[in-house]
Structure 1
Amino acid sequence: MLRAIVKLKDLGPVKTFIGIEVKRDRSKRVIGLGQSRYIESINSKFPFHDNNYRPDITSEIHPDSGSNYLSPSMKKQYQGAIGAIMWITNNTRPDVAARVGIKAQMIASPTLDDWFDLMKLGRELFETKDEVLRLGGEDELIPEVFVDASWGGHQSDSVMSRSRQGCIVLLGSSCICWWSRVQTVVAQSSADAEYLALSESIKDILYIKSMLEELRIPIQNPVVVHEDNTACVQMVEEGAISRKTRHIAIRERLAIIAAKDDHLVEVCKIKSSDNFADILTKPLARVKIDIVKQRIGIVKL
């Protein structure tokens, strides 16, 4: 043991790590990762709950647009709130990743409407601050991947017709990896957007599979990847280059074909209503958000 080599001080089970709180339910063999204290701290810094607060606006930016843009001082507050909420989404709350990502697209020239949307998101986080990301349990450690893309995405000057893509990786019932980001190229169709998202997810699968093998956690092939676009699934199954797919970059095409030929993944069609990654591509209705949160383990422990 390491204690035999160097002097160590036992501080007991970890309770916090870089601002992330660790809770345990040993009877169910689960741990929960939360950030309630951090959420409370940013709630006192930004006026999330002050419905009467009216930020300063300016007409100097795009005066003919008819929009009320935030003043330079308020823009800094907006940018600070975006960064604070993104820290939460990257660590414990994938359910708000797409919504804060969309608001981050407006970070260069946010409007009054963007401010109110962001404050509403901050209030939601504060009201659910006791929810944690649940990990562990008795489920067998079988990876399962959900991928989605919103063709065209939420438009802004910084995005210009590019789609937003998202991915969730479950290991058993534990959500161990997720991301929501804008694609680097403009997709020609919804199938193209889904295809590019699928390719990105496979890169994560290969990395996670390698990491688990190093931890001596055996993973059986193929890993199931859930995709809700029929045309995208057909493109993967056919594998060949056609007139409709020849414009897709070789590195994106080979990532899928190589994984398929090596039987590392199996792309399965799923209903859009059952695709958890939908929450990472666009804002959803409250009912759908609550269902996805329960399924990926964002709960009160």
Structure 2
Amino acid sequence: MRQPPGFVDPQQPDSVCKLHKSLYGLKQAPRQWFNKLTTFLQLQGFGFSRSDPSLLIFHKNHIQIYFLIYVDDFLVTGNDCFTINHILGQLQEQFALKKLGQISLFLGIQVIRSSTGYFLTQEHYASKILHDAGYADCKPAPTPLATNSKTAQTSTAPFHDPTLYRKLAGSLQYLSITRPDIAFATNTVCQHMQNPTDQDFKTLKRILHYVKGTITYGFPITTGPLELRAYTDADWASDASDRKSISGFCTFLGPNLISWTVKKQATVAKCSTEAEYRSLSSALSDVIWLRRLAEELQIPQPNPTIIHCDNTSAIAIAKNPVFHARTKHIEIDYHFIRQHINSNTVRLSHISSNDQIADILTKPFSFTRFNELRTKLNIRPSNA
């Protein structure tokens, strides 16, 4: 820290001003803003969620209010409009706020209201990506990845503009917030951001062509049963460069898709069963967190959450307490899964590969199969 010109004290040239408030742009500013805002909300009766530190919850006399913070943007919802307006009025006395009314756009995500619920899409953001990349008028592609994209990549020349590649890959990653149908393809191109090649950019362009043809797509949030269920899958040794497997899982709350993940596994699996078992462990971690969050949102899960897996061997290892040479190195994951099966937190259920929704998160498909799985994920146009 240095004194600005004109403020230096000749008697104490090494001294600096003591700040009575944080300055916008300093590293401490976001933390100080969050502390001030949450301290005020706690004085109003809010408490921090145990599952999400950016979520504050108010429960009193059957009144439920949820306050979700993202830097200086936040969402407020609840079952009592009078109390919400009262709290917002007090907030406006302390902070310079804009009350935007019913949600329509939040962090680039459009929220369209309908008679049956809400529809989440990022059509504006997708249009911006295509415009910035110069593909606003490109021809649409039927799928985000070609079916032969898993074959070993031959050595090609480095891409001439790595910065552009990283910018587009990062933008597609944010677009996948409402587009899980591009999550696997985006994960594939993001693995080559350090040294992208011409072939990598060709793969990225294919995703842009697919986005062009599905620019209005998103997923609905509708009323229905509020039971969690999950689907987990893995593609063993799918990466030809290092032979690591890809894990993919998705979770539904009733008819609504609420969580999904595509991730390359950290270590090489010795067999497909091990790859599926590690993916099952990751899915279980997500399910436990979602069950805890659902309980805080007054959506208790009295029944075990069903996790659908299409690998009978992985299910057998989870249920059968027998170790042998092939499972010694995954003992920690074994105990983790086994414990929650015994406590009735989750229940494993075998599902045929044809009905495995999480398949779309682990590998490329032909248009027919891809469209079938996309429909099961509830990904559709906003006007459908």
TM bin, normalised by shorter chain, reads 0.7 to 0.9
Change (3 A) 1:266 1:84: same
Structure 2 partner of 1:167: 249
The question of 1:119 aligning with 2:201 is answered no
Indicate yes or no: 2:99 matched with 1:18.
Answer: no
Match 1:108 to one of 185, 194, 216: 194
Q: Which runs of 5 or more structure 2 residues have no equivalent in the other structure?
A: 1-82, 93-97, 140-152
Displacement after TM superposition at 1:239 (Å)? 3.1
CA contact (8 A) 2:138 2:209 kept: no
What's 2:350 paired with?
269
- Could you tell me the TM-score, scaled by structure 1's length? 0.87
CA–CA distance in 2 between the matches of 1:37 and 1:117? 23
For the pair 1:140 / 2:231, whether they are aligned, the reply is: no
The two structures, once aligned, show a CA RMSD in angstroms of 1.8
- Between stretches 116-125 and 40-49, larger displacement belongs to 40-49
Residue 338 (structure 2) aligns with: 257
> Which AA in structure 1 matches 2:205?
M
Kindly indicate whether residue 331 of structure 2 is the aligned counterpart of residue 242 of structure 1: no
User: Who wins on radius of gyration, i.e. which is larger?
Assistant: 2
Counterpart for residue 373 of structure 2: 292
Q: Which has the higher contact order (CA 8 A, sep 6+)?
A: 1
Secondary structure of the structure 2 residue equivalent to 1:69: coil
Could you state the TM-score of these two structures normalised by the residue count of structure 2?
A: 0.69
Q: What is the match of residue 67 of structure 1?
A: 155
Partner residue of 1:194 out of 254, 266, 276: 276
| Closer/same/farther in 2, CA of residues 33 and 242 from structure 1, 3 Å limit | same
The one-letter amino acid of 1:152's match is A
Partner of residue 32 from structure 1, selected from 103, 107, 119: 119
Residues in 2 aligned to 1:67 and 1:155: alpha-carbon distance in whole angstroms:
13
Q: Distance in 2 between matches of 1:297 and 1:239?
A: 37
Q: After TM superposition, what 4+ stretches of structure 1 lie above 3 angstroms from structure 2? A: 7-10, 47-51
Structure 2 equivalent of residue 55 of structure 1: none
Gaps of 5+ in 1: 52-64
Deviation at 1:201, TM superposition (A): 0.6
Provide the aligned length of Structure 1 versus Structure 2: 279
CA contact (8 A) 1:203 1:255 kept: no
Identical-residue share of aligned pairs (%): 28
Q: Secondary structure at the match of 1:22?
A: strand
- Assess, with a 3 A threshold, how the Cα gap between structure 1 residues 40 and 152 changes in structure 2: closer, same or farther: same
Q: What amino acid is aligned across from residue 238 of structure 2 in structure 1?
A: G
